[in-house]
Structure 1
């Protein structure tokens, strides 16, 4: 019990003018399933929100470290309960499962099925589906891929792209297998690799993984290479917005966010 204190009279007063309004996200609300150790994905989504007409609701999901096929697959059964924590009393328009590699192992269709089992009627996407859709929209069927992953995890993402009709013509990876390690790679590292790589006949650059610092490097990569640059977080956010009906350009995050609505 709290100590006894003298409490003044408490008055309940009406809202001035009697006017109430919707919660944030009156136009679009996006639910994000973020990995427990990924500090980049919700930060990046928040940076891309154009104004208060769009709201972001985040729920965390456990991913054991280090990252591997076993730990990614183990997340699948946790997805429905994580979705149920996304403001169940409020309207949601899109739900993003925020892991590119896990999507490549669990499967895009299965991720969608698991989300919809807990929240029917929402649009569902993930960084893999978002990237494939974005690259297709940019008319980029051949891409240069940069990842922070190990070669094994990178290989599976390349397979997912191929299944979606996107050919990887050049692939580079940094070799990390934890989200904390991935998050330690500076943004400039992505710029330098993109600038110094022979992209052959690639039509775009794809930087995979939601835990990277690559979002803020997109415009610099595009300027240095002359190619459109798509990242996991940018593509997933763009796809979630577009599926929910957004059609206004958003500056500062590459050609995709400026032009592809």
Structure 2
């Protein structure tokens, strides 16, 4: 049994994770601990506060007791708003506190894009434009080519959590670009686990979503690879040779 530890802010789309666990169809357990979201606002100051070391550390002990082998801060905006260097500092502090390998959803997107072997991506963000732009800047700092960014202008995670398949598909279509080799939907408050195959069939390219890449990143940290086609192209790729 491989136990994956996730720190998830508040309560929005956490029910994606039991679905993903079921779709993995293997000896994988996802242990999820909720962290204090503070003010539910897609605003830079609120997002930075949400990912402070103190808030993240509060859930680590529970994950250790559950036997987690790696921990991922399951929040995109609560990591990339700190910038590339700040997000690295956040993950390093989390790993030190937890005593195990650590990452965040922002870095999960970068690693997942590299795993797919693509360089040009489109972004469909629920966030307001200024926050969506910060995510694009984070990806560019990783050497990725962001060809377009579509903002839905949602002000809070609670609103994103109300979206169903029609809204998610509409955002994906609006954000897609002919030059993009993959589409990224970066909000762990957005339900996407049930729509991955539909999204990829609709767009004809890999689609990476926040909760999907978060679990993939936790598996990567533990050295596990699981073939799960219902979770999209990311979970069917053969491992790339790392140079």
Q: Shorter chain as normaliser: what TM range?
A: 0.7 to 0.9
| Unpaired runs of at least 5, structure 2 | none
Are residues 1:73 and 2:52 paired? no
2:19 to 47, 52, 56: 47
Are residues 1:148 and 2:148 paired? no
Q: TM-score, normalised by structure 2?
A: 0.88
Are residues 1:96 and 2:75 paired? no
Are residues 1:36 and 2:10 paired? yes
Using a 3 Å threshold, how does the CA distance of structure 1 residues 196 and 110 change in structure 2: closer, same or farther? Answer: closer
Distance in 2 between residues matched to 1:198 and 1:214, nearest whole Å: 16
**Displacement of 1:196:** 5.2
Distance in 2 between residues matched to 1:260 and 1:128, nearest whole Å: 22
Equivalent position SS for 2:32: strand
Structure with higher helix content: 2
Distance in 2 between residues matched to 1:69 and 1:197, nearest whole Å: 22
1:119 to 98, 101, 107: 98
| Unpaired runs of at least 5, structure 1 | 1-25
Equivalent position SS for 1:89: helix
Given that residues 80 and 114 in structure 1 are in contact (C-alpha distance below 8 angstroms), is that contact kept between their aligned partners in structure 2?
no
Distance in 1 between residues matched to 2:226 and 2:67, nearest whole Å: 21
Give the structure 1 partner of residue 34 of structure 2: 60
2:225 to 229, 237, 247: 247
Give the structure 2 partner of residue 17 of structure 1: none
**Displacement of 1:147:** 1.0
**Displacement of 1:55:** 1.4
Given that residues 147 and 172 in structure 1 are in contact (C-alpha distance below 8 angstroms), is that contact kept between their aligned partners in structure 2?
yes
**Displacement of 1:260:** 4.4
Are residues 1:207 and 2:185 paired? yes
**Displacement of 1:231:** 0.7
Are residues 1:84 and 2:58 paired? no
Q: TM-score, normalised by structure 1?
A: 0.82
Distance in 1 between residues matched to 2:195 and 2:65, nearest whole Å: 37
Distance in 1 between residues matched to 2:175 and 2:217, nearest whole Å: 28
Given that residues 188 and 217 in structure 1 are in contact (C-alpha distance below 8 angstroms), is that contact kept between their aligned partners in structure 2?
no
Given that residues 124 and 175 in structure 2 are in contact (C-alpha distance below 8 angstroms), is that contact kept between their aligned partners in structure 1?
no
Given that residues 183 and 211 in structure 1 are in contact (C-alpha distance below 8 angstroms), is that contact kept between their aligned partners in structure 2?
yes
Given that residues 154 and 173 in structure 1 are in contact (C-alpha distance below 8 angstroms), is that contact kept between their aligned partners in structure 2?
yes
**Displacement of 1:247:** 2.2
CA RMSD of aligned residues (A): 1.8
Distance in 1 between residues matched to 2:167 and 2:238, nearest whole Å: 27
Distance in 2 between residues matched to 1:194 and 1:81, nearest whole Å: 35
Aligned residues: 231
**Displacement of 1:214:** 2.3
